[in-house]
Amino acid sequence: MSIIITTLIVSAVLAFLIGVGLGFFQQKFKVERDPRIDQIREALPGANCGACGFPGCDSYAEAVAGGEAPNKCTVGGSKAAIVLAEILGVSVSAEDMTALLMCQGTREKAPAKGHYVGIPSCAAAKISAGGTKLCAWGCLGYGDCAAVCTFGAICVGEDGLPRIDEKKCTGCGNCVAACPQRIIALLPRRRQRVLPLCSNRNIIKAMVRKTCIIGCFKCELCVKNCASQAIRFENQLPVVDYTKCTACNTCVTKCPSKAFCLIRKESA
């Protein structure tokens, strides 16, 4: 019995000494926590979506306090970026982004190559069949973008194209990364913009019309008729320079294929 009691006493004394030692070393070598981290974390929306490139809001808050850019939170958008910049005492350029599908190839406008039997996934269809539409660049319509949208901003319509709800979209970019066709773009939110919603890079008009009746067939009337010289062709597709564009709508009215669209932002 005495051996057991002695063992218990020695164990208790050792535990006490170890505890005191750990407490001493913790105080001696502790790293001071930046008080701005809690302020930054409080200013973040707490979605923990990972769109900023960090595992969650806690990690991003620590990174921002350590010098990371304060405008990477797409959920918080420009408002959060401005608040974080004020906490850090720096200036920041922030603009809210939204996702846009650069394709109008519905089932009726862009015919299928045949009947696809396989995993109902854009990525799977791309790998196994090289896509399911005659237009090699068109939206495949199986909703990989909707599946990764954690904010419920995307759903696939009856016409086979994803519908992006700009009111719910945070511009996180998950849908951009998930699309195997690379036809979802992140663009700054604007009240109004003209946009070429086509990704068909075929330079032969007859082939474009065969694969999609609303595809851009490179007539360049948009370029020729743009008074602001805001449109140029890159990689066989029109590109709009929004620093020059006045949204005059001329490109939309002159486009014979109706690939150009005038997009108006819905009121919040």
In a domain, 11, yes or no: no
Same domain? 262 vs 205: yes
Domain contains 129: yes
pLDDT score for 76: 87
Helix or strand (DSSP H, E) at 163: strand 162-164
Q: How many domains does the chain have?
A: 3
- Mean pLDDT over the full length of the chain: 87
Q: Which domain holds residue 84?
A: 36-88
d(CA 160, CA 4) in angstroms, rounded, equals 77
What pTM was computed for the model? Answer: 0.74
235: CATH? 3.30.70.20
- Residue 55 domain-assigned? yes
CA quadruple 264, 167, 92, 83: dihedral sign: positive
Show the low-confidence residues of the chain (pLDDT under 70).
Answer: 1, 8, 10, 13, 21-32, 191, 264-268
185 forms beta bridges with 100
Note the pLDDT tens digit of each residue in 171-223: 889 999 999 999 999 988 876 788 899 999 998 989 999 999 999 999 999 99
Residues 12-30 pLDDT 10s: 767 777 777 666 666 665 5
Same structural domain for residues 178 and 129? yes
Indicate if 153 and 231 belong to the same structural domain: no
Question: Rounded to an integer, what distance in angstroms lies between the CA atom of residue 147 and that of residue 180?
Answer: 13
The phi, psi pair for 164, rounded to 5°, reads: -105, 120
Question: Do both 101 and 164 map to the same domain?
Answer: yes
* pLDDT score at 10: 66
How much is the pLDDT for 169? 93
Answer whether 40's CB lies under 8 Å from 19's CB. Answer: no
